[in-house]
Structures are given as structure tokens and as C-alpha cells.
């Protein structure tokens, strides 16, 4: 018996095997859950359909995978189609994982002060507003007592050089979590965020994860970085009934890095 036996839900934002969303989905399915997946649409001129190919490679042959559907979260019709897939293939759902973020490379890599107006709008729409859009569209397919989880990062709470405009988006996302928790609370629907430390993912590499790994290892009380398995376990916990009393929370999965007010043991490297 798994903790997800009889449970069904929607997973968004899986890009490849290194995605935190995949680590969570894989854990859910190993515990008996059934999942529908949305993924970033392929470009019209991409004859190879690389995005579809990546997620198909991960999910092919798994009887717990109920559908694969492209979704552009800036398009309400796309979101509606995904919700129709949930109704048709899953019925009512018990969990929804939001793992979607994007900023133009020129804005992400440049100083925050130089973020373009259009780039800011796009990054905020995809990285923050999309959680509101998905939660709103999913209201009639979510069971009472369901759980919604999004993925955030410490750069939304403190200034993290290199994270730049995405940190501003994550700050908005963190606030949305709290307001959605209030709005959906009367139905027992919980909304939380998982704030993972640096991992080797597509988005992580875009934000300079290689430089962050050594910093976290040196500063975190546990003296190490987290793993994909830990992200999967923590995320699946927050989406399960085992966290039934938790909502409006940001769970930091970073070896305790966020608790530090000084560089900690990292200072030992500078002692004479």
C-alpha cells in the first residue's frame, strides 16, 4: 500500500530527468498515484518535437501516466484543454504541482535594475501569475482536501546575486501561495511551496547553480547539498494527505542554509 493509492493529479513543468518536478512525480507514482502531465509546447518549426520526446522518454510504458498535453500558460485556452484532460482522464484530482518559470536570458543574466519592461511582464506572467491561472482553472476539478504545490527559491526572500529578476518573480509567487491558501482554505485545499537549494537542473544552470553548490555546502548546517531524491520526497509529502494540516507555508529544503546569519563553518577557510 502506498500513500498515493487511489490518488490522481496534474504535474506541470517536467523538462527532463533532472527536473525537480520529475523527482516529485516519480515518487508519487512509486507510491501508487496516477498523473497527467503538461509540458512546454514545441515550437511549430521543431519537426523533432524535442519537448514531447523528452517527457515521452520518461513516461513511456508507465501505466500510472494518464496523459501528456502541451500547455502554454500564457494562453487560457491551453490551460482549459489541460483541465479538460484532467476531467476526461482522471476525473477529480487530489494534487496539482506547479513547476513553471521563465525569464528572457538577457534579463536573467543582466542586473536586475536593467530588466526590460516587456521581459519583466513575461517573466512575472509565466513564473508567478501562472499559479493563479492554474489554480483558478482547476477549481472544479480539484477535490475538497486537495493539495497544490509550487516550487520557489530563497532568492525570493533575500537578494541572491545572479538570480536577479527571477528572485522578484519568486517573491510574488511566495505571496500568491499565502493568498491562495486563504482563498481555497474553506474547501480544505492546501497551497504550499517547496524552496529547494541548488540542484543540477535546466533552470538551476541558467541561474548559476555551479557557483552556488560550493557556497551551500560550506554554509549549510548539514555541510552538504541536497539531492533530487530528497526533493522528490519533500514535494510528494507536501502534496499528500500526510501534510493535511500544512498550508500557506514555504518549506526550505536546503540543509539549513536559510537559517544561517553568517557564513558559518565556511569562515574556517579564511582563518590563519
Q: Is 4 tagged catalytic? A: no
CA nearest to 215, candidates 166, 159, 255: 255
Grid cell listed for 147: 493539495
Closest CA to 153 of 135, 169, 177: 169
Active-site choice (39, 153, 216, 257): 153
Q: Which of 4, 39, 163, 257 is catalytic?
A: 163
Cβ–Cβ under 8 Å, residues 228 and 186: no
Per-residue b or e along 203-223, where b marks 16 or more CB atoms closer than 10 Å to that residue's CB: bbebbbbeebbeebbbbbeee
Q: Is 179 a catalytic residue?
A: no
Cell numbers for 226, please give them.
541536497
Distance of CA 93 to CAs 36, 64, 233, Å?
10, 14, 20
Alpha carbon of 151 to those of 195, 224, 238: distances in Å?
6, 21, 11
DSSP designation for 177: H
Active site residues: 153, 163
Amino acid at each position: 500500500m502506498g500513500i498515493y493509492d487511489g490518488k490522481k493529479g496534474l504535474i506541470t513543468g517536467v523538462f527532463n530527468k533532472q527536473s525537480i518536478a520529475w523527482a516529485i512525480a516519480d515518487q508519487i507514482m512509486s507510491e501508487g498515484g496516477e498523473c497527467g502531465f503538461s509540458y512546454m509546447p514545441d515550437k511549430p518549426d521543431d519537426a523533432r518535437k524535442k519537448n514531447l520526446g523528452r517527457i515521452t522518454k520518461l513516461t513511456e510504458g508507465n501505466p500510472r501516466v494518464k496523459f501528456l498535453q502541451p500547455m502554454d500558460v500564457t494562453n487560457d485556452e491551453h490551460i482549459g484543454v489541460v483541465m479538460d484532460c484532467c476531467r476526461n482522464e482522471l476525473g477529480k484530482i487530489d494534487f496539482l504541482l506547479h513547476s513553471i518559470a521563465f525569464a528572457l536570458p538577457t534579463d536573467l543574466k543582466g542586473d536586475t535594475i536593467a530588466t526590460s519592461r516587456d521581459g519583466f511582464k513575461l517573466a512575472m506572467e509565466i513564473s508567478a501569475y501562472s499559479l493563479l491561472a492554474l489554480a483558478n482553472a482547476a477549481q472544479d476539478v480539484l477535490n475538497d482536501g486537495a493539495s497544490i504545490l509550487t516550487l520557489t527559491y530563497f532568492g525570493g526572500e533575500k537578494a541572491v546575486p545572479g538570480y536577479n529578476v527571477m528572485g522578484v518573480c519568486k517573491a510574488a509567487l511566495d505571496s500568491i501561495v499565502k493568498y491562495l491558501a486563504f482563498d481555497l482554505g474553506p474547501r480544505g485545499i492546501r497551497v504550499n511551496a517547496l524552496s529547494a537549494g541548488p540542484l543540477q537542473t535546466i533552470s538551476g544552470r541558467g541561474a548559476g547553480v555551479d557557483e552556488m553548490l560550493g557556497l551551500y555546502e560550506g554554509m549549510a548546517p548539514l555541510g552538504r547539498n541536497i539531492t533530487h531524491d530528497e526533493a522528490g520526497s519533500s514535494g510528494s509529502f507536501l502534496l499528500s494527505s500526510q501534510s493535511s494540516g500544512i498550508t500557506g507555508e514555504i518549506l526550505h529544503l536546503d540543509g539549513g542554509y536559510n537559517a544561517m546569519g553568517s557564513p558559518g563553518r565556511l569562515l574556517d577557510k579564511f582563518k590563519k
